[in-house]
Chains A and B, each alone.
Chain A
Amino acid sequence: MKKEIIISGFGGQGGLAIGKNLAEAGMAEGLNVTWAPSYGPEMRGGTANCSVVLSDKPVGSPVFAHPTELIAMNAPSLEKFEAGVQSGGIVFVNSDVVTDRVSRPDLTAYYIPCSKIAEEVGNPKVGNMVMLGAYVAATEILKPETIEVMIREMFTGAKAKLVPLNIEAFRRGMACVE
């Protein structure tokens, strides 16, 4: 089992955080993981992406041209990375921001209204958790419980009040693909 995931979007959309969450959860489940960000000027407002590997064997290359899954949080990301996705792969599109559709018939596409759901849940910042839920539900590679434990550990003390909100966003994301 090896998942090679590219997550890409505008800075501030939480794409890098989705990647970190996947890597953290993968590590918690005993997988070998790497998280490699693009870095540089794109950190400051442009499109930023990261590459995540989740594997039951030691990770060789942490970067790759052909992801098994693509999470496109904005339109330039879909445009840039769709062509490279492995045949039979999955593309997750943030459909509140991206109006284009996945054009390749050999890919499975999920259109997730991250921002809309995040607002319904009560905080526009949790759109990335919605997307994480969609990824976990569609790939079934990580246990939802692992993510929920992680969310509880992530927000402690004064931030503990954010836990229910994030879990709700995560579950709503899962529901999008079920």
Chain B
Amino acid sequence: MAIVYQKSAGLTDKEMHYCPGCNHGIIHKLVAESLVELGLLDGAIGVCPVGCSVFAYNYFNCDMQEAAHGRAPAVATGIKRTHPTQAVFTYQGDGDLASIGAAEIVHAAMRGEKFTTIFINNAIYGMTGGQMAPTTLIGQRATTCQSGRTVEQAGMPIRVAEMLSTLDGCVYAERVCVTDIANINKAKRAIKKAFEKQMNREGFTFVEILSTCPTNWGMTPLKAVDWLKENMIPYYPLGVIKDTGAEVK
């Protein structure tokens, strides 16, 4: 019998703990497949965050370090600088990266650290139970902005990919989502490209992935996909934001 589909060798057999409809599972798979297809898995070292993907070290079939909240880019700096020929990545959520770890991500990008950051933006704190994130949209409800986020109270949400792309050390920043097959394929191409540019020692590479959180958004998984398309994409436009190696069209 022909095998038509197989779980990536980049993932362990550990059953994932993610909620139904959460996009982490898809994104883990894309990262794992990319590492395998590029022949990087064996030497890869990943850094996971504090947040819903805190247990990612159980799922990726490569060496992993669990970082303190927000510090993954600093941890990855220590790893990559001492293991310059190996693939190093951080996998971080929006509270971890855009709030408590804002300094670490900005400076890793500024220094042009040669690792890849996979940034999961689901506009909310998942693990701690639905609090407002720096990426929570205006009007979006969260347990710490129960009538909806206001500009007066919390300012406008942060567009991390655009912010980091202003730094010369960041050579690649793309925003993708995984709402359907076409977008999943685009997301994978972005992840692979980021790793390729990393291994080419071009600089800091960054892929922001818009993601759903049906549990904390209070929606079914399908409704969450619609909400993402209708609300997040207009504010967080998809596409390549920076690619210093891209051909001029």
Q: Do chains A and B touch in the complex (CB under 8 A)?
A: no
